[in-house]
Amino acid sequence: MNPSFKILFVLIIALEISFTSIVSLNVALIVLAIIYLLAHRVPIKTLAWLLIVPLIPAIGLWSTQYINGTGNNDLFAWVLFTRIYAFVFTGAAFTLTTDVLALADSLEQNCHLPAKFAYGVLAAYNLAPRIKHEVQVIRAAGLMRGQTLSFWSPQLYFKAILISINWSQNLAQAMTSHGFVEDAPRTHFRIVRVHTKDWLLLIGGILLLQVGIFLVPWR
Amino acid sequence: MASIALKHLSYQYETAQTPIFDRVVTEFPAHQFTLLTGPSGTGKSTLLQLMAGLLPLPKNSGTISYDHVALSSLPVGTRSKRVAMMFQNPNQQFAMDTVEHELVFALENQQIAAVEIEDRIIQALTFVGIQKLQHRQLNHLSGGEKQKVALAVIVAMDSDVILLDEPFASVDPQARQSLIDRLVELRDQYGKTIILADHDYAGYDAVVDHVVQITRDHQLRRLPKTQWAQFFAAFRPQSLPSWPAPAPEPTPLFQLDQVALTQGNHQLLVPTTLQLHAHRNTLITGANGTGKSTLFEALVRLTTYQGAIRYQGKDIQKSRRKRYARHVALLFQDAEAQFFNITVAEELAQSQKYAYGDYFTPAKINDALTQLNLAGRDDQVIYTLSEGQKKKLQILLMLIMQSPVLLMDEPLKGLDLKSINALVTLLKTTLAATQQTLIIISHQLTGLTPLIDYHLRLANHQLQYIGGPTNES
């Protein structure tokens, strides 16, 4: 599916389930997302992590609602619990099966977003591994001067921001030097097309979602 | 084509007191290879950035023109056909993830037709000799490979003028030679104009057509050919005094056991077993890009390595980070990495607060500040200091800490002779009292040699002591 269509679909799902309270629908979405992920050969280990990591906030929400909630607190506790997982798994169904470069290409070519936006995001994404190392360097440098910088130290962020500003300037220069000009026309080597199939999938998916929300008499 | 003329070019940073260039008039002839020289901090990078149009030139500060057309009136969209630049830091010149994607990005920007792009990419990669890197992740390449990719991008863009800003700072000697050969071919076969800034002049005398110096009075001066012999001779590698190699001891400061270092798929150091000794100062030399800084990163646990490193008999991976960092500190090459506060006084106060020993009393710190010509700057914001002042302050801050071991990565880089002498004097008096151990990576050896006891050299992926065995047992 076209990456821009895919992200739009996931956003619509997220928006709609934020305003509905149907446990079975959430579960159905989770199951569909898992099937989709398995079909794309996402490792079982990754799926296991997706199940474990949201457990704490999910239980937190569940218990808050269950203990303190008013009215139908039992139902709403489960709605919130499953909703978190629905967000996580539909989100993963997008991120784990979509190439960032393909998304950038599609946003630029199909959605006509400014190239600056598409490539800026892409460049930042590609810098991410180096940022992790840089944070390690900042913390080590701090220790060498007797200062422990924990993850909530303002100084850690101050340094990180200084470095980011510096990097973003260098990156802008590098992009300019490689011929990038804001809002200038560009050619496209990797063409991303919107096929009829993409429209059908998107519209079909949205319709199915409405059927699930408004028509199916869950329980 | 593409000769470049500078007419009455002046430039001054907003925060600076003096201009970097003062009504410079000069011309860089087409199809020729010019070496741009001058000490660090004199404005080589600034000049290249101005010429590439990466820094805007304020009004009334002269003109930069390509074949009599002012750079400012060249349409931005076609500038990359005229001029392209290769940067010093190989890690910060790519926007994409793989080699091929970066090349595609550049060619798309130039609006090359999609059908033509593939051929151009193959040609450029073949020219630089890196076809096998086409689908590789840029993050996984060594410094030398990244700079080759940067050159391939410029070749693919077919820019008339190629500017290079100290491009070999993290490139090993073989890759450097291969890159210089390609540049010569670009000039001779394709008529490119090349301007390269470097502070290491080795190997250029046979290939460049011009040598241009940035002078102390903020002008550009072309060095007459008659002075070349003398000029290049001054930069032949200095012959170092020979120090004795240390005798093995049962309890060394550091024990390296089969330690190997890699960068991406590139081997920097083959498995090496070696000792480093306490209360002695060890100098580490070796060409750019051979892995000296990576070795330091391994010693302070900022990079992974194979084998084991023991500090005072204990595997450094098993020490608590905090405790280990108080014992073994690194003076980073980039001075700003070591700053955590806003003003000079705050930085000094922090170092004093956490210092490991009490040698540096407030009086001693004041003396040191005077000695380093940093006195009276207590309230100045560190980030407004000059590069040289930052470096001196950084070294003082780390000396005040008095960690038992201080690893210094190019501590004298970019400093003038007066500052170097002041620093070496300070180091000598401090070491005499604090008995710290220094391990120093340095290209700049003037003035430093009296401090050194042992000499390690990193070459051909081997790290070895240079010098005869000691007779003492």
State the smallest CA–CA distance between residue B62 and chain A in angstroms.
22
Mean pLDDT for all residues in chain A: 89
Say yes or no: A41 and A83 in one domain: yes
For residue B241, is pLDDT > 90? no
Q: How confident is the model at residue B316 (pLDDT cuts 50, 70, 90)?
A: very high
Q: 10 Å Cβ neighbour count for B232?
A: 18
Same domain for A129 and A67?
no
Residues A86 and A31 in one domain: yes
Is pLDDT above 50 for B473?
A: no
Look at residue A73 and tell me if it is in a domain: yes
Secondary-structure class of domain B4-233 per CATH: alpha beta
A165 CB neighbours in chain B (<8 A) are none
Q: Same domain for A157 and A90?
A: no
The ipTM is 0.84
B73-86 exposure pattern, b = at least 16 Cβ within 10 A, e = fewer: ebeebebbbbbbbb
Question: A25 is written with which tokens?
Answer: 């629908």
Q: Which three-class secondary structure state does DSSP give residue B433?
A: helix
Report the amino acid identity of residue A198. D
Helix (H) or strand (E) holding B352: helix B344-354
Residue window 325-354, chain B: list those with CB within 8 Å of chain A.
325-326, 329-330, 332, 336-338, 340, 350-351, 353-354
| CA-based R_g, chain B, Å | 24
Beta-carbon neighbour count of residue B426 at 10 Å? 18
CATH number for region B254-465: 3.40.50.300
Residue of A nearest to B396 (CA): A145
- A16 and A121 belong to one structural domain: no
- Is A107 domain-assigned? no
Distance (Å, whole) CA B305 – CA B303: 7
Domain that holds residue A21: 3-102+192-215
Do A9 and A98 share a domain, yes or no? yes
Taking an 8 Å cut-off on Cβ atoms, the answer to whether B340 and A147 are in contact is yes
Asked if A177's CB is within 8 angstroms of B93's CB, the reply is yes
Evaluate if residue A196 carries a pLDDT over 90: yes
The beta-carbon neighbor of B101 closest among A101, A146, A186 is A101
Task: Confirm or reject contact between B161 and chain A (CB < 8 A).
Answer: no
In this structure, are A87 and A148 located in the same domain?
no
Cα angle, residue B382 at apex, residues B51 and B334 outer, rounded to 5°: 60
Domain count, chain A: 2
Question: Quick one: A91 and A197 in the same domain?
Answer: yes
Determine, yes or no, domain membership for A33. yes
Tens digit of each residue's pLDDT (9 = 90 or more) over A166-188: 888 888 888 889 999 888 889 99
CB-CB neighbors (< 8 A) of B395 in chain A: none
- Residue-wise burial string across A101-112, b where 16 or more C-beta atoms lie within 10 A, e elsewhere: bebbbbbbbbbe
- Answer whether 0.80 is exceeded by the pTM: yes
B39 pLDDT band (50/70/90 cuts)? confident
User: So where are chain B's domains?
Assistant: 4-233, 254-465
Using a CB-CB cut-off of 8 Å, the residues of chain B touching A141 are: 330, 332, 337-338, 340
- Indicate if A155 and A198 belong to the same structural domain: no
Residues A14 and A69 in one domain: yes
Is residue A110 situated within a structural domain?
Answer: no
User: A31 and A88: one domain?
Assistant: yes
Q: Which positions 89-118 of B are in contact with A (Cβ < 8 Å)?
A: 89, 91-97, 101-102, 104-114, 117-118
- Tell me what the mean pLDDT of segment B233-259 comes to: 85
- B4-233 and B254-465 share one CATH topology? yes
Are residues A16 and A78 both part of a single domain? yes
Cβ atoms within 10 Å, residue A156: 18
